[in-house]
Amino acid sequence: MKILKDILYKVAIESVTGSTEIDIHKIDFDSRKIEEKDVFVAIRGSLSDGHDYIEKAIQLGAVAVICDTLPESVEKGITYIQVKDTNTALAFMAANYFGNPSEKLKLVGVTGTNGKTTIASLLFQLFQKAGFKVGLLSTVKIMVDQTEYKATHTTPDSITINHYLNEMIEAGVTHCFMEVSSHGIHQKRTEALHFVGGVFTNLSHDHLDYHPTFAEYRDVKKSFFDSLPKTAFALSNIDDKNGTVMLQNTVARKFTYALKTYADFKATILESQLSGLLLKVNDNEVWVKLIGTFNAYNVLAIYGTAVELGMDSLEALRLLSDLESVSGRFQYIVSEGNITAIVDYAHTPDALDNVLKTIGDIRTKNEQLITVVGCGGNRDKTKRPIMAKIAIDLSDKAILTSDNPRNEDPEVILDEMEKGVEAHNYKKVLRITDRKQAIKTACQLAQPNDIILIAGKGHETYQEINGVRHHFDDMETVKEILEQLNK
């Protein structure tokens, strides 16, 4: 049991009705999960407003309610705390409830449009190889040392974050690497967390279904760096035009990384092959098993973070050379018939452009490049024609298909993608709604030495159609089809 007064520390309170000297069991913002002696936090979401469920939460046993607007009538014996913003209140309350676990380990946040998962996951790998107990909060999974949990959001809610950070403390974890999304920052999920470092990857077209303008999207990312303490480090990619913007106003120690510009951590690509990259990082050469220019940036971010966390620079490079690629990030297989199939999570225009240009740099041009790509439903519609245009411009053939249509009609999504197809490219394009059939067609079209890129879903092992998730794994599917074709 906790005392309500104690978990309200640092919460900006506007009014109190009732006593704060009461025992509480747990905090929740989902009224359906409320039990006896719980605190209910009324959050205003995009689909529902928690204030509409205050009465239900009390009926289920809530003894305290946190809200930004008091209900018209208050119940006797219930404590009502009015706050300016319930998202922020939830963040501080969750941190207090679990004993502020982020202050007891070294927490590094990674933000940007692309590269967050790769950087956070490979930092987890690198520090494990260095002998540390490490935690990971990512799109792909949550790791508490050796124990894996399923991830549901890029940046989980405040209660979930603090719950797992507390689990990490109990498991003896010393370092945690966390993906920080613009949604998570905007919804105050990272408030009340103590970061020892922040990493900026890049900024490109994404999430404009959520953020009304690109400027707001950028400024939300920037606010993460603005909030870093002076004891933390801020590491930014200054080859990105927004890289220096992220460092403005932060009181954290500023560091930069780049391939094209003078920076604290600088790399030159000496060799680029399907098997990896030979890089000159500052004054030392290192071979890594990661592919493409975008991964050279990721390597620099990982290296810079490791050094700023106190790791010896040569030891960091040695460990970098041993890292394995992240699931669904430029994963590839070569079939018996010598067809290369690449699966990548590229689901933004910039990410797709990077992956296709990487393949273009590696290929001989004597083979076909066939790209299978779709766009998610109930997400930013403006990127759909752009994604299709990039796929067609940088491939010999493109097959437009379903990604996760969610609650949208997949045919409408494909209609919007096709708006990016210019007349002279019509012959290069196929439209196949069924994703498995699209992948099968790509495999049937491919000849020995050809390359197939399957973009958009990467590590995901499901396809969401009409709100229902069905098992679907791009890598599993393409392996199975290529094996059948080789029989």
For residue 404, say whether it is annotated as part of any ligand binding site: yes
For residue 272, say whether it is annotated as part of any ligand binding site: no
Q: Using CB atoms within 10 A of its CB, is residue 470 exposed (0-12), middle (13-18) or buried (19+)?
A: exposed
Q: Is residue 470 part of a domain?
A: yes
> Do residue 443 and residue 401 come from a single domain?
yes
For residue 36, say whether it is annotated as part of any ligand binding site: no
d(CA 154, CA 142): 10
* pLDDT at residue 54 in the model: 97
For residue 435, say whether it is annotated as part of any ligand binding site: no
What is the pTM assigned to this prediction? 0.84
For residue 116, say whether it is annotated as part of any ligand binding site: yes
Of 357, 221, 347, 243, the residue nearest 301 (C-alpha): 243
Of 59, 51, 53, the residue nearest 83 (C-alpha): 51
> Do residue 290 and residue 424 come from a single domain?
no
* pLDDT at residue 205 in the model: 58
Q: Is residue 19 part of a domain?
A: yes
For residue 113, say whether it is annotated as part of any ligand binding site: yes
> Do residue 166 and residue 43 come from a single domain?
no
CATH number of the domain that 473 lies in?
3.90.190.20
For residue 118, say whether it is annotated as part of any ligand binding site: yes
* pLDDT at residue 154 in the model: 66
Q: Tell me the residue range of the domain where 77 lies.
A: 2-97
Q: Is residue 326 part of a domain?
A: no
Choosing from 57, 79, 97, the residue where a domain stops is 97
For residue 88, say whether it is annotated as part of any ligand binding site: no
CATH number of the domain that 227 lies in?
3.40.1190.10
> Do residue 218 and residue 357 come from a single domain?
no
Q: Is residue 317 part of a domain?
A: yes
For residue 406, say whether it is annotated as part of any ligand binding site: yes
> Do residue 388 and residue 350 come from a single domain?
yes
Q: Is residue 244 part of a domain?
A: yes
* Number of domains forming the structure of the chain: 3
Q: Using CB atoms within 10 A of its CB, is residue 183 exposed (0-12), middle (13-18) or buried (19+)?
A: middle
Six-digit token pair at 7?
Answer: 């978990």
For residue 117, say whether it is annotated as part of any ligand binding site: yes
For residue 275, say whether it is annotated as part of any ligand binding site: no
Choosing from 295, 321, 347, the residue where a domain stops is 321
> Do residue 186 and residue 49 come from a single domain?
no
For residue 467, say whether it is annotated as part of any ligand binding site: no
| CA atoms within 13 Å, Cβ hemisphere of 441 | 19
For residue 138, say whether it is annotated as part of any ligand binding site: no
CB 108 within 8 A of CB 44: no
The tens place of each residue's pLDDT in the chain, 487 residues long, gives: 899 999 999 999 999 999 999 999 999 999 999 999 999 999 998 778 999 999 999 999 999 999 999 999 899 999 999 999 999 999 999 999 999 999 999 999 999 988 999 999 999 999 999 999 999 999 889 999 999 998 877 678 999 999 999 999 999 999 999 999 988 998 999 999 999 999 999 997 554 455 457 788 898 999 999 999 999 999 999 999 999 999 999 999 999 999 999 999 999 999 988 889 999 999 999 999 999 899 999 999 999 999 999 999 999 999 999 998 888 888 989 999 999 999 999 988 988 998 999 999 888 888 999 999 999 998 889 999 999 999 999 999 999 999 999 999 999 999 999 999 999 999 999 999 999 999 999 999 999 999 999 999 988 999 999 989 999 999 999 999 999 988 7
* pLDDT at residue 207 in the model: 46
Bridge partners of 198, per DSSP, are 109, 234
* pLDDT at residue 210 in the model: 52
* pLDDT at residue 211 in the model: 46
For residue 190, say whether it is annotated as part of any ligand binding site: no
For residue 444, say whether it is annotated as part of any ligand binding site: no
For residue 249, say whether it is annotated as part of any ligand binding site: no
For residue 182, say whether it is annotated as part of any ligand binding site: no
For residue 405, say whether it is annotated as part of any ligand binding site: yes
| CA atoms within 13 Å, Cβ hemisphere of 205 | 17
> Do residue 112 and residue 151 come from a single domain?
yes
For residue 189, say whether it is annotated as part of any ligand binding site: yes
* pLDDT at residue 1 in the model: 84
For residue 431, say whether it is annotated as part of any ligand binding site: no
